[in-house]
Structure 1
C-alpha cells in the first residue's frame, strides 16, 4: 500500500488540528467573561468558523479528498486609529474574576496570531499540494480573524498604534528605491 501523506505532513496535521482544538477550547473559556455585545458577536462568529474549519480539515484528511478551504469573511469596519492616547497601565490579573473584554480580546488576538504563523510553517512542510493550500488558507483565515479582533481593540483604545515623527517615518520609507531590472539574477564581471 502506498502512503498518502509523508511523515512531516502527518505530524504537522496532528499539530495543526491539536492547535485548532486548543483555540476552540480557549474561546469557549473566554465566553463567560465577555460583557461587550460587539466582542461577544465577534467571539461567537469566530468560534463557529473555527469549529467548521476544524470539521472541514478532519473530513478532508479522512476522506483523502481535500477540498478548497473556506475563506473567512472580514466585515468592513472603521479606519485604524493611529497614535497614543493615554494608554492604560497593564498588569496581570490576580484572579479570573478580574478578566474583562480587553483581556478576552487580547487572548483572542494572540491565539489567532500564533495559529496563523503555525499553519503557515506547517504548510511549508507539505508535499501534497492540496493539503499545503488548505493550510495556507487556514493561515490567511487566522490572520483575517486576528485583524478583526485587532480592529475591535483599536477602536476601543485597547490596542493603540504608536507613530513616529513624520521626518523619521519619511526618512525610513525613502531609504529604499527600486532595484535595477534587466540582468537581475545574473552575475556580471
Structure 2
C-alpha cells in the first residue's frame, strides 16, 4: 500500500466518512436555524439563534478549511460565550402533556428551542465520534476544540428553556441527594516506589 504524506491527503478512511458526517450534520443544523428564524417570537431566543448560527457557520468554515488542506485553518477554533447566567429553576410544576404538532402553524418558541437543542446535541455527538477516528492532527484538534462550544450552546438553550418553563428540572429529596453525593471518596495516593 502506498502512503501519500501530503497534508491535503493526510486522512484515514474512517476520518473522511466521520468528518463528512460532521459537516453534513452542521449544514443540516444551519439550514434548520435558517428555516426556523422567521417563526421565532421571543427576542431573546432570536438573539440566541442568531449568535449560535453565526458561530456555527464560522466553525463550519474552519473545519472545512483544515479538512480540505490538512493544515492549520485560516481562522482557528474560537470559544463560544453565552450571554445567559447559569441559574436553573428546580422542581416540577403541572403542565400539559407534550404531543406532536398537527400543523406548521403550531410551531412556537418552545418547539424551535427544542429543535435548536437537538441540533447542537447531534453536532456534539458526531464531533466527538469523529475526533476519536481522525488521524490528521490538525483536523482532530479542531474537532476536539469545538466540542466544548457545542456543549456551551446546548447549555445556553437549556437555560433559556428552563427560564421559560419549557424544560423542568426535577430534584431528588435532600437526603437522597446527600446519600449519592457522599457515595464516592477520593482515590488514595499511590505508594511511591522505593
Q: Same fold (TM over 0.5)?
A: yes
| Residues 42-57 of structure 1 mapped to structure 2, 5 A cutoff | 42-57=48-63
Counterpart in the other structure of 1:29 = 35
Please list, as runs of the form range in 1=range in 2, the aligned pairs for 1:48-127 lying within 5 A after superposition: 48-67=54-73, 68-77=76-85, 79-127=87-135
Q: CA deviation at 1:123?
A: 0.2
Separation in 1, partners of 2:86, 2:60: 30
| 1:23 positional shift | 0.6
2:149 alignment partner, one of 141, 144, 147: 141
User: What is the alpha-carbon distance in structure 2 between the residues aligned to residue 22 and residue 183 of structure 1?
Assistant: 52
Partners of 2:70 and 2:139 within 8 A in 1: no
The Cα offsets for residues 124-147 of structure 1, whole Å up to 9 and x where unpaired, read as: 011222211111122211111111
Q: 1:175 aligns with which of 137, 160, 183?
A: 183
Distance between the aligned counterparts of 2:118 and 2:102, measured in 1?
Answer: 20
Partners of 2:18 and 2:126 within 8 A in 1: no
The structural deviation recorded for 1:62 is 2.3
- Specify every segment of 5 or more residues in structure 1 that has no aligned partner in the other structure, as ranges: 185-189
* TM superposition shift of 1:183: 4.6
Q: Deviations over 1:21-51 (max 9, x none)?
A: 0110111121122111110111111111111
Q: CA deviation at 1:104?
A: 0.3
- Contact conserved, 2:70 with 2:138, CA < 8 A, in 1? no
Q: Secondary structure at the match of 1:182?
A: coil
How far, CA to CA, are the matches of 2:184 and 2:86 in structure 1?
A: 30
Give 1:182 shift.
1.2
Whole-angstrom CA distance in 2 between matches of 1:73 and 1:59: 23
Cα separation, 2, equivalents of 1:116 and 1:134: 13
Normalising by structure 1, we get a TM-score of 0.91
